[in-house]
Structure 1
Amino acid sequence: MEIRETGKEKIIAVVGRPNVGKSTLINRILGARKSIVHDMPGVTRDRVYFDAQWLDRKFTLIDTGGIIPSHTDDKEGEEGQFLTNIFIQAKVAMDEADTILFVVDAKSGLSPYDKEIANLLRERKEQVVLVANKVDNVAEIGNISEFYALGLGEPQALSALHGSGGVGDLLDKITSDISSGDTLEEESDVVKIAIVGKPNAGKSSILNKLLKKERAIVSDIAGTTRDSINSGVKVGEREFILIDTAGIRKKAKVDYGIEAFAVDRAIRAIREADVALLVLDAEEGLSDQDKKIAQTVVDSGCGLVLAINKWDLLKNVQTHNFEKELEQEAPFLNFAPKIFISAKTGQRVEQIFEEAGRVADERAKRVPTALLNKIVGEATDLNPPPSVRGKHLRVYYTTQVRAKPPTFVLFINHADLIKESYKKYLTKKLREAFGFFGSPIKIAFREKTKEGK
């Protein structure tokens, strides 16, 4: 059996006509680990990406809108455009997937739409697994026989709603080529940098400066999209991969079609990068759209460096005053390093590699468990959260469950004592103790009784 390349997370798209239970199946697979990676309104309205895990195997799930192929041409006006968009979005999801789960409704039976979708899928090179959903008991197994006519092999019978049938068998099948989670986190000194920001902030100019002729070009690496090339460069003894992305505009200004998909690919690039270089226009300052892009980076767990471009155009403005304004406008970005650059003149552009490398190292950092528990214990003793109905917080144990980004789990007695403000307090204390400069920190809480300790 062939095992997938280390560090390349498998992508599984879930497709089918409307109301066959695609989202129910995804929720069943995700369980309590549901984590929306990106659901930015106006960018990918008809498909959503999720991080998922089965046993120790990690992969990405894509939920798509219901496909009605023949109706994409029949309908006119907004309804026709809506159906066309869903169809195109589903096709894009299938294009980037390694495996496609084609979900059908065993209770309502074989539909003409199922046959049309099957015709599309038979032409594809990706693994296609036919899933017969809504088989709620053994007596209904016979309902799946008619789906053999689709020519996609044996249907996997299950009930996504009840979790019965072959859900586990299905997950075993679609994850059999994924190496363990421990292997996926093997250390690599190559740093992937996604250059992101609004249109015309100077992203491509920065890329061109970074790829100056005298620099050793390691390779031109085909990106995850048809229209971008990720450039590999070596700086000193360290290698970097630079990913240029489309400008991310406000949702009201993004049309469906090529631009929407380019924006979507930019957000996927953030997910795949070690560090995002968010390019700001110094003359415009920090806009609401910049904040939204930055929040997307933070939510994805990617490292962050702010590059304030066109600094040469500002006169009589000191960097520390500009930084102070940024801290007031967006305090959630205080952890990120800021570089004041000019792509036009080359001012401080070289610092991008240094800062990105440092942030990547901080993001990959692991801390000793004994020291971690000491720091968390001191933080909670110094400033415990307010008691609720006589209940007081007790932290039994803290552990770092992963790096990239640093992720911690606190085993506690009462989860309802933890509010968002206290989570921010603990994050601040972890930064003070361990740095993690430029990297988001993830903290989760697990309730545990003293006896279950």
Structure 2
Amino acid sequence: MPLPIVAIIGRPNVGKSTVVNRLSALQDAIVFNEPGVTRDRTYKPAFWRDREFQVVDTGGLVFDDDTEFLPFIREQAMAALAESSAAIFVVDGMMGLMPSDEEIATWLRQQSVPVLLAVNKCESVEQGAALAADFWSLGLGEPFPISGIHGNGTGELLDELITHLPPANEIEESDEIKVAIAGRPNVGKSSLLNAFVGETRSIVSPISGTTRDAIDMVVQHGDQTYRLIDTAGIRKKKQVEYGPEFFGINRAFKAINRADVVLLVIDALDGVTEQDQKLAGRVADEGRGCVIVVNKWDAVEKDSYTIYDHEKLVRDRLHFTEWADIIFISAKTGQRVEKILDMVNIAAEQQKRRVTTSVINEVLEEAVGWHSPPTTRQGRQGKIYYGTQVSSRPPAIALFVNDPALFNDNYRRYIEGQFRKSLGFTGTPIRLFWRGKKTREVERVTANRATRVKEF
């Protein structure tokens, strides 16, 4: 069975995200002193003693208000509870027992999930028991006084929690592919995640900035497991004020960094914007696999040439990611969505691919035979002695040459193009390191100095 899930439930501003950060190994849930910062349900890995599990952060529950996002937040919290092995109900010890706490407790008592009561903001151990005493009346068993900030009392809470989780030997590990869904605001990232999952996993709204955190969801397709990560829309830095959106964009960049493959979502109606170009450049710089997903294709008026014209426009604007596959989809109707994961598989496989030194040198020999390295006015010509792959994710190849300065950008692009033509590497960037005699001599001297210092 997969990792068990523990839902964190409570009204707004009781410190749920702070508690999630305390329990989670990632500790990156957005914490900001403003109600409604957390909207979707966000999953974070956690462990205690011999148990691994996932904590799912949820938005603040309000039952008697249907304004803005509150109905969607309720829907997300209920969905989180339905898939959980246990729940932690977080209340505010400093504020005391509130009528909304009683409403939530009444609802939780009607569920079939074991519920633990965590009285947060009990920073003082001496006052913790007194602050927690008021919450016995909720009828959810013993209230545990804790501090999400300092960690006081969380050990006792977790000791009780793991009694409700399955034994460690029943949990199966999976070799999952991490897929970040990134793009500008309102290009359909959350709709795409929901299309993959087949349920309302992320709140979809025409309001820009609806998604604020990086939202993980594990899905199975055939024999392969995927961790899909929906991210906040990334706008230009100068347009972003300090606050929830600022933190959300930072989480989006972190999601790109921890992903194996990035789905770069582009609005078919807007075309490729300057911000899309910057995001594509960031994905390439981070060395992540990429699939370019052109969404809202159903809204485009088409003839038999439209898709080819659009693909050429996308390729021209994103020429520095020409190695990435492009797919035209509609997250709203589901058109071609199922084909995206096949492209993800290819990109993930190519990103971790290793090629033998003999094959690399065969490609180099053929490439140099067709197009010799450039010669300077002084008659100096570049020479490539040999190449070898030094790492993967992304594939990196070191080329040993007489002098890297003798190889201009055009020739370097030519060599990369020959590697792609002969070896593929579809869906992933590749790194070429041009290493000359001087470079190797500096590295040798540096290594010798380091050895002498260590011996001394």
Please, what TM-score do these two structures have when normalized by structure 1? Answer: 0.54
| Partner SS state of residue 350, structure 1 | helix
Q: How many residues align?
A: 263
Q: 1:447 corresponds to which residue?
A: 436
**What does residue 55 of structure 2 align with?**
none
Instruction: Pick closer, same or farther for the CA change 1:227–1:198 going to 2, 3 Å.
Output: closer
Look up the match of 1:411: 400
Counterpart of 2:195? 209
State how 1:134-149 maps to structure 2 within 5 Å. Answer: none
- 1:448 Cα offset (Å): 2.2
Q: 1:306 maps to what in 2?
A: 292
What stretches of structure 2 of length at least 5 have no aligned partner? 1-24, 29-148, 152-173, 202-210, 445-456
| Alignment partner, residue 429 of structure 1 | 418
CA contact (8 A) 2:212 2:245 kept: no
1-side partners of 2:383 and 2:431: how far apart? 20
For the residues of structure 1 that align with 2:440 and 2:179, how far apart are their CA atoms?
Answer: 46
Aligned to 1:25: none
Residue 358 (structure 1) aligns with: 346
Alignment partner, residue 241 of structure 1: 227
CA distance in 1, matches of 2:224, 2:254: 24
- Residue deviations 1:290-336 (CA, integer Å, cap 9, x gap): 01100000110000101110000011252112111222223222211
User: Partners of 1:285 and 1:446 in 2: how far apart?
Assistant: 39
Within a 5 Å distance, the mapping from 1:54-453 to structure 2 comes to 189-213=175-199, 227-317=213-303, 318-388=306-376, 389-448=378-437
Distance 1:291 1:450, change over 3 A: closer
Are residues 353 and 214 of structure 1, via their aligned partners in 2, closer, same or farther at CA, if it must alter by over 3 Å?
A: farther
Mapped partners of 1:285, 1:226: distance in 2 = 24
CA contact (8 A) 1:246 1:263 kept: yes
Offset, 1:419: 2.0
Corresponding residue number in structure 1 for 2:123: none
Cα gap change, 1:270/1:451 in structure 2, threshold over 3 Å: closer, same or farther? closer
Q: Give, in angstroms, the shift of residue 124 of structure 1.
A: 7.6
State how far apart, in whole Å, the 2-side matches of 1:422 and 1:260 are: 41
Tell me the distance in 1 between the aligned counterparts of 2:438 and 2:296: 56
Question: Structure 2: how far apart are the matches of 1:340 and 1:419?
Answer: 36
> What does the per-residue CA deviation read over 1:405-425, in whole Å, with 9 as the maximum and x for residues that have no partner?
110100111111122222211
The separation in 2 between residues aligned to 1:444 and 1:419, in whole angstroms, is: 13
Amino acid at match of 2:431: K
**d(CA) in 2 for partners of 1:392 and 1:441?**
25
How far, CA to CA, are the matches of 1:280 and 1:414 in structure 2? 41
Tell me how far apart the structure 2 counterparts of residues 309 and 208 of structure 1 sit (CA, whole Å): 14
Task: State the alpha-carbon separation in 2 of the partners of residues 198 and 243 from structure 1.
Answer: 15
Equivalent AA in structure 1 for residue 424 of structure 2: G
Distance (Å, rounded) in 1 between the aligned partners of 2:355 and 2:386: 14
Aligned-pair CA distance for 1:337: 0.6
Indicate how the Cα distance of structure 1 residues 229 and 441 shifts in structure 2: closer, same or farther if over 3 A, else same. same
Aligned-partner residue type, residue 329 of structure 1: R
Change (3 A) 1:296 1:451: closer
Displacement of 1:450: 13
User: Alpha carbons of 1:335 and 1:360: their partners in 2 closer, same or farther (altered >3 Å)?
Assistant: same
Deviations 1:375-415 (A, max 9, x none): 01221232123222222111122010011111010011111
State the secondary structure of the residue aligned to 1:240: strand
- TM-superposed CA distance for 1:257, in Å, is 2.4
Using the TM superposition, give the Cα deviation of residue 362 of structure 1 relative to its aligned residue in structure 2, in angstroms: 1.1
Distance in 2 (alpha carbons) for counterparts of 1:446 and 1:417: 11
Q: How far does the alpha carbon of each residue in 1:329-361 deviate from its partner, in whole angstroms, 9 at most, with x for none?
A: 232222111111111101111111111111111
Amino acid aligned to 1:357: N
- In structure 1, stretches of 5+ residues that fail to align are 1-7, 12-122, 126-187, 216-224
Q: 1:124 to 1:310 in 2, by over 3 A?
A: same
- Contact in 1 for aligned 2:357/2:387 (Cα 8 Å): yes
Distance of 2:417 and 2:194 partners within structure 1? 37
Query: Structure 2 vs 1, CA of residues 258 and 374 (structure 1 numbering), >3 Å: closer, same or farther?
Result: same
Are the equivalent residues in 2 in contact too, given 1:198–1:248 (CA < 8 A)? Answer: yes
Does the 8 A contact of 1:413 with 1:450 survive in 2?
no
CA distance in 1, matches of 2:246, 2:200: 35
Q: Distance in 2 between matches of 1:198 and 1:204?
A: 12
The CA RMSD over aligned residues, in Å, is 2.8
> Runs of at least 4 residues of structure 1 off by over 4 A?
449-453
Compared with structure 1, are the counterparts of its residues 201 and 369 closer, same or farther at alpha carbon in structure 2 (3 Å cutoff)?
same
